[in-house]
Amino acid sequence: MSALQLLADKLADDVLAAEAELGDDRFYEKVAQVLMAASPTFQEAYITSIRVRLAERRGREYLERALAAKRGLISEAEAGAGEDLPVDHAGSGH
């Protein structure tokens, strides 16, 4: 992994961890604006790191809700059955 990606990953981790304390779930966007003025290359690496982490968080939350519903800990309605279902992007490269 390049130094650029290591730095972007560390900053992304720190920013997402700070969002709760700051009470601003879009704080990462403000940081991205600061980075854009300083280094568009670093800003892009940072945004990629943020998106990967947010996607993982969303996927993990969906998994946890689905398992809780299957185990009878919550209802399927509470789990959001039918909500946030994955879309088949076959062939899209994503």
Q: How many domains does the chain have?
A: 1
Q: What is the model's pLDDT at position 75? A: 80
Q: Looking up tokens 């809700």, which residue turns up?
A: 65
The reply to whether 85 falls in a domain is no
The reply to whether 61 falls in a domain is yes
The span from the CA of 74 to the CA of 63, in Å, is 13
Q: What is the model's pLDDT at position 1? A: 83
Residue 28 · residue 19 · CB < 8 Å:
yes
**37 class by beta-carbon count within 10 Å (0-12 exposed, 13-18 middle, 19+ buried):** exposed
The span from the CA of 77 to the CA of 51, in Å, is 27
The reply to whether 54 falls in a domain is yes
Name the H helices within the chain.
Answer: 3-22, 27-38, 40-70, 76-79
The reply to whether 93 falls in a domain is no
Given a cut of 80, is residue 93 above it in pLDDT?
A: no
The reply to whether 18 falls in a domain is yes
What is the domain extent for residue 63?
3-79
Q: What is the model's pLDDT at position 73? A: 84
Residue pLDDT, tens place only, 26-84: 999 999 999 999 999 999 999 999 999 999 999 999 999 989 888 888 887 777 755 55
Q: What is the model's pLDDT at position 76? A: 75
Q: What is the CA radius of gyration of the chain?
A: 17
Question: Where does the pLDDT of residue 16 fall: very low under 50, low under 70, confident under 90, or very high at 90 and above?
Answer: very high
